[in-house]
Each structure stands twice: as structure tokens, then as C-alpha cells.
Amino acid sequence: MIESIVSYGLAVGAVYAMIGITYNVMFSASRVFSFTSGMLGMLGGVLGALFITRLGLPVVVGLGLVLAGGAAIGVVTEFVAVRPVLKSLEQHLYVLSTLAFALMVQQVVAIKFGTDAQPFPRLLPIGPGLLDQQFWLPMLACAATIAGLEFLYRRTLVGRAFVAIAEDSYAARALGLPEQGLRVASFALAGIIGMLAGFTGAEMLLAFFGNQPILNFYGFVPVALGGMGSNRGAVAGGLALGLFQQAANFLVGGIFAAVAVFVVFIAVLLLRPEGLAGVATSRRV
């Protein structure tokens, strides 16, 4: 039992962590928390099943199309739901615009793809068992995402520009960095990461339009725990959440698991609003 808690918990946790990173990548470039994060995770599974199972495309082509779709929808999100409201004085409008956009996409999926959870194709002939691909694929994807982002942010010029925008967008613009272009690029990047999370996790979570709110919430919990903008915090928080959830599922049942996660989430928000590892920064007057 302990093995299945660990393998399943870490795998689900890796998906949560990647959705958390999706939130972070968009947040860093725009100061916007976008409800499209869970939508991307949901779409990764649904589009994967659509391309590979229904259309019969090879796995590699299917993955490529899903990731390209993620980038495209990230760009669309930026243009439709983020750019127009950033100009507005009331900054919080992004909460509603991104939610509305995500709901529209979700409804199109529900109507065109169906409201039933559908199985996701097996990608590699490895398994079954505790070392089944459905468990290590999300973990591998998560590790690759983190490694890729670290390389991007530390070693490349574009990545440093991302960091500069996240640190102080006014100063970055004053230096002549193309803030809008970088924001669009980061939304495309977030689209790819979110879709990858959904694609690799879909064998466990299935291709299901209803995964959107679940991923939205459980993907945000690691961000709240680890501090917004912190990818390492998101990974640590995501894996911890996955393990806790599975352990509670096995040991005391799903109701307790759901309620306990929610109570912890509220307690952390109240006691450490900046996250367990974050630093408080705000100046209002």
C-alpha cells in the first residue's frame, strides 16, 4: 500500500506542481494569476486523447500538436483576457476575464468532446506495476520543466529578460526590454507547460472536461504554500500535496482528504499569506 501511495501521490503531485509552475510563469511576466492554468491541464489530456485515440496520430506527432496548441492558446489568452484589462485601472478584472475565457473553452470541450471522462492512450509499452509509465511520466515531465526553466532563466538572454520583467517591469521597460513581447512569450511558455502537465498526467486523471476546476484549485495550493512566483516552492508544495492527498485517501477516505487540504489552504493563507517560503512585500500608501 505504501508503494502505491508514494508512486501515485508523487505522480499526481508532479501534475499539481506543473500547474503551479504554469500559474507562476504567467504571474511573473504580468502580475496576473490566470484561471486558464487548470484549463491548460484539462486541455492537455483532452487534446491528447483526441489526436492520438480518435485521429490515430503517432504519439510524438500528437504530443507536438498538443504543445503547439498550448503555446497558441497561451498567446490567445494574453490577447483576449489579459492585455485589455491590464490597461484598466481596476487591476483585479483579470480574475474575471481569465475565468470567463477558461469557462468558454471548457464549455466548447464539453459540447464538442463530450462530458464523460474518457481513457487516455498508453504512450509507451512500459508497465503495468508501480513503475508504470503513468507514474513516472509526469515526474519526468516535471523534472524536465524545472531543469528547462532553470536553464532558461539563468543561462539565456531571453530568460534573463523574463527575470528582469518579473523583478521590476518599470525598470525593465526603461532599459528598453520589450515588455509586451516577453509577456506574450511567457504566456506561450505557460501554455506549453500546462498542456505538458495535462498530457503526461492524463492516464491517471483521464481526458475529462471536469478536471479544469480541480486542477485550477489543487494546482494553486502549491503556489499558495510555496510562495507566488517560486517554482521550487511549487514543486515542493505540489509533491507534498499529492502525497498527503493519496495517503489520506487510502487511510481515512476521500472526504477527509478534500476537507483537510482545504482547511490547510485557508490556514496558510491566513497565517502566512506570502507562502511558507515567501517574503512579504507590499506598500500601499
What residue ranges bind another protein (CB under 8 A)? 33, 80-81, 84-85, 88, 90, 92-93, 95-97, 99-101, 103-104, 107-108, 111, 213-214, 216-217, 220-221, 224, 253-255, 258-259, 261-262, 265-266, 269-270, 273, 284-285
- In whole angstroms, the minimum distance from the beta carbon of 145 to another protein comes to 22
Give 103 or 243: the residue with its C-beta nearer to another protein: 103
- In whole angstroms, the minimum distance from the beta carbon of 249 to another protein comes to 10
Give 63 or 221: the residue with its C-beta nearer to another protein: 221
Peptide bond into 125 cis (omega under 30): no
Give 134 or 216: the residue with its C-beta nearer to another protein: 216
- In whole angstroms, the minimum distance from the beta carbon of 222 to another protein comes to 12
CB 20 within 8 A of CB 222: yes
Longest dimension (CA), the chain: 60
* Alpha-carbon span 283 to 285, nearest angstrom: 6
Give 71 or 268: the residue with its C-beta nearer to another protein: 268
- In whole angstroms, the minimum distance from the beta carbon of 100 to another protein comes to 4
- In whole angstroms, the minimum distance from the beta carbon of 93 to another protein comes to 5
Q: Which residue has the cell 500559474?
A: 23
Give 141 or 230: the residue with its C-beta nearer to another protein: 230
* Alpha-carbon span 42 to 36, nearest angstrom: 10
Residue 93 phi, psi (nearest 5): -60, -25
Question: Which of 61, 66, 36, 64 is closest to 186 using CA atoms?
Answer: 36
Please report, to the nearest 10 degrees, the dihedral formed by the alpha carbons of residues 53, 57, 60, 65 taken in order. Answer: -90
